[in-house]
Structures are given as C-alpha cells and as structure tokens.
Amino acid sequence: MIKEGNFMMFLSNFPEKYVGKSFEIDCVDVEIHGFDDHQPPIFKGPGVIRGDQAGRFSYKIYNQTPVNKEIFNYLKAVRESKDPKKVNLRLFAKAYDGIEWAGGWSIPNFDDFSSQPYILLHGEIDSLSTRVKKLHGDQTKDSTELVFADNIQLPLSGTVKIHHLHNEEVIRTSWKGDHQNINFEGIPMIFQKSFNETRLHVIAEHGEKFTPPFIENWITEALIFVTARVIQPRMVIRHFSDDALVFIRATPKDTRSQIPSVLSLVSNDTEAFWSLFTAYLSKCKVEQRFELLDITRGFYELCLASKGTLQGFLTSLSVYIEFCIDQIFSSEKSTDEHKEKVQKLIEFVGTWECDDGIRSRAKSILAMLNKPAISGRLNILIRQSVISPAHKKSWNETRHFLAHGNIIDYSREEEFGQYRNYLISMMYRLILRIIGYKGQALDYDGEKFIIAPYQWSDET
C-alpha cells in the first residue's frame, strides 16, 4: 500500500493503473542526471511520462534550467561522441500523486533553443521503477509477481462460477478457468487472470536458490517456450516484508510467432502443459543464470524469424538445431589421443609450400576434425528415440542446400515447407531432451502436426 495524495492506494492497484492500457504520469518535477547521478541534475523541470499498452515509454520535460556551460557541453557531446558515459542520461521523476519514479537510460532529443533561454526535452526510456512502502493491510511478502498484458491462453484448471442475471433473477450459470495453482519443487506458484482477462498475474514465493531477480527471468523463459511467443512481463513486483520494488518495462508490441507451441493441439491437457512448464523452469533453476539460457535465446530468435521468409526461417532453424545437438553432447570431449592425431595431420599439411592461401584454408578445415561428425551424433539420437530418420533426412537436405548458398524458389516451396514442419518437430524434441522432459509433445507425421508420446533413452 502507498499513500497517494490524501487517500491510500493498495499495491495491487498498480497493475490496474499501468498494465494493459495507455497511461500518463504528470510529474511536478523531473531531474535528468548524467552518468554520475550524485551530481546536480543537468536538466530539471515539470514534465509528463506516457506509455501505451506495449512498447517503450515516452517523456517530455519542460526544462527550467537556463542554458549554461554544462548544458552547452552536453549538447556538443551528443553531436560529437558515442561514449555512453558522456551522452547517456537517466531520468528521476516525482509525480503529482507523490510516487517517485526512476527511469532507464536515454539520450533525449531537444527542440530548437537558439532564441530561447530554456530547452524542451523529449525522448524514450525502457523502464520505470519505484519502491513502495507497505502498510499492514498488504499481506503479500517474500514473493515475486509478474504481470503480463497479453491475453496469454493457458490451460487453467481453477474455475470461477459466474451468475448471469436479468434484473435480480439468475437466468444462467457458467464457469470459466481463471487460475492455476502449481507446486514447483515445494514452492507455491499461482497463475491468475484478471477479471476482465486483460492481464495474467504470476505470483511465486521465494525459496532456496529461487530468489529475485532471477526468478522473474526464469518464469518468463519457461512461458516463452511453452507458448512459442516472445512475451515479456509489463510489470514486475518484488514483494518483501515491509516494502516492494515495482518495475514497469518495455514489452514487444507483437508477441506472436508462426511456430506452433509444443502442446498447441492439446490445450485442455492441463497436466501435460504444467509438467512441461515446470521441467523448463527446473532447467533454469539448475543453471542459476540471470541472463537467458542459450536455448531460450535461440528459441526467442526463432520466434522472430518465423514471421519472415521461409528461406530465412529455415536457415535460422537448421543452425539452431545444430546448436541443440552440441548442447546434448556437450559433455562428450575428444580424447587427447584423437586431438594429437589431428594436430599431427595439421602440422603435416603445414609443410606443404605450393600455395599459402590453400594451405591456410586446409589447416582450418582440418581443425574441424576435433569435433565429432554430426552425422554420427544424429545416428545416436535416432537410436535413443530422440529424433527419427525423417528428421535427420530433413535436416541434412535443408542444411546442405542452404549452406551452399542456394535460394528456395517457388517450385520447391511445398517441399521445403514440409522440411520446415519436420524441423520444428525435431527442434522441440531436442529441446525436450536437453531439459530432461518425457511425455506428450508436438510431432509431424508427414501430413500434419500431431501430439505423440515422447520417450527417449540414454543408451548409445
């Protein structure tokens, strides 16, 4: 809860006010600081901060500081320097409702001031944050809350009963899924849709090796994978005992992709969906990384590439599949004896003196022998039931065709469209193997996508 003017505003009102809608924050005072925010502000004055349903935030500041030497030097640095320490500025604002916001880094734009003593600043920032003091009535603590503005379709087993009234008479009763409680390794989590279904709230309690700021990234990563969408939370609230940190962040305006989600054909299979979600979340927890996992970063890029051309998507997909294969065999290392033999071969070729350019290229190619042939790895994955021979054939045909600089023409779009479907299925199978998941998963039978049992073994 926070004091806002002469009345009290619960912390739970922040999502209603700032998420899933356009908003405007009128500020009685805005300070723009340089790289060292302990120094006096370079610019200062009233202003306004605006945000839409998604995207970045814009600001406008009516600077009240007359143009002086420091301002003139800064304007000169913007034109001449690319050093972030010299040109990046940070925004601090006090709103009329009493909330104090800290903004992200920005390089503002300036209106022409040649004949005026003051400057009008405007620009964009990626984030806003504030610390909220809690009062006794707010019982949420030691947890992190993510608020998504998208209407994310998730299988929710918890239902709410709705009475439809005519005057005061109940004429119809219906139910809809609006929440899901899950237990992740002993840690309670709840997924809750807002009443108007414009927001999804995810609240996770903190636990051992499951703490902020990591968990807000891990939960987002798992949701990106299970939904095949480039989603990001619009708001994150880190609830502590006596206060909370509130972040509003820039989000993509279009989160859709052309990749079917791994369980898209079984939207009502609640158990399978949440089993897959927790498997991916567990992988994030084991890795204990703040930045995205490599498999998540690659999958995110694929979601973006899927909205482009077939050629570009297949290029990205085939490369990402090779990366996933390397991840599965990451513990496999060439023996010292093998490396020694390869090195002797490289040294032998190095004695060839006919052409320096050819010799250098040959040595580079031979160095690749230190890495096991991917064909052998694919055969192992087939024996382990991770992939099928059809997956291997589709990957070989696609990878080799594109690697030699060929362009997919209209006459082969249907053929490569089928390769695309096989490779999407192959990609999912490899990722599921990396995170250790067994169960229902998306597959391709040569004609259509299906959901099939996915069981693999470690036998070689």
In this prediction, residue 91 carries a pLDDT of 93
d(CA 325, CA 426): 10
pLDDT over 70, % of the chain:
90
More confident residue, 214 or 98: 214
pLDDT reading at 7 higher than 50 = no
Extract the tokens encoding 453.
């049992």
Q: How confident is the model at residue 123 (pLDDT cuts 50, 70, 90)?
A: very high
In this prediction, residue 232 carries a pLDDT of 96
d(CA 290, CA 208): 16
d(CA 52, CA 190): 27
pLDDT reading at 230 higher than 70 = yes
Residues 47/27, Cβ–Cβ less than 8 Å: yes
d(CA 456, CA 448): 22
In this prediction, residue 38 carries a pLDDT of 73
The residue count for the chain: 460
d(CA 391, CA 135): 58
| Mean pLDDT across the chain | 87
In this prediction, residue 214 carries a pLDDT of 97
d(CA 40, CA 74): 14
The strand pair at 235-239 and 143-148 is best described as: antiparallel
- Region 178-198 average pLDDT: 91
pLDDT reading at 197 higher than 50 = yes
In this prediction, residue 252 carries a pLDDT of 94
C-alpha dihedral sign at 134, 135, 141, 142: positive
pLDDT reading at 223 higher than 50 = yes
More confident residue, 353 or 398: 398
pLDDT tens for 235-257 read 999 999 888 999 999 999 999 99
Residues 235/246, Cβ–Cβ less than 8 Å: yes
Q: Select from 243, 20, 266, 258 the least CA-distant residue to 147.
A: 20
Q: Select from 43, 38, 173 the least CA-distant residue to 120.
A: 43
pLDDT reading at 8 higher than 50 = no
Lowest mean pLDDT among 33-47, 183-197, 410-424, 440-454: 33-47
In this prediction, residue 1 carries a pLDDT of 40
Lowest mean pLDDT among 133-137, 409-413, 442-446: 133-137
pLDDT tens for 351-379 read 888 888 888 888 788 777 777 778 889 99
Lowest mean pLDDT among 159-168, 288-297, 380-389: 159-168
Q: How confident is the model at residue 6 (pLDDT cuts 50, 70, 90)?
A: very low
Residue 251: count of CB within 10 angstroms of its CB: 22
Q: How many CA atoms lie within 13 A of 188 on its CB side?
A: 7
Residues 459/453, Cβ–Cβ less than 8 Å: no
User: DSSP per residue over 339-389, as a string?
Assistant: HHHHHHHHHHHHT--S-HHHHHHHHHHHHGGGSPPHHHHHHHHHHTTSS-H
Lowest mean pLDDT among 21-25, 167-171, 406-410: 167-171
In this prediction, residue 236 carries a pLDDT of 97
In this prediction, residue 346 carries a pLDDT of 84
451-455 long-range contacts, CB within 8 A, separation 24+: 451/263, 451/265, 451/266, 454/429, 455/385
Q: How confident is the model at residue 108 (pLDDT cuts 50, 70, 90)?
A: confident
pLDDT reading at 305 higher than 80 = yes
pLDDT tens for 55-85 read 999 999 998 888 787 887 787 777 777 676 6
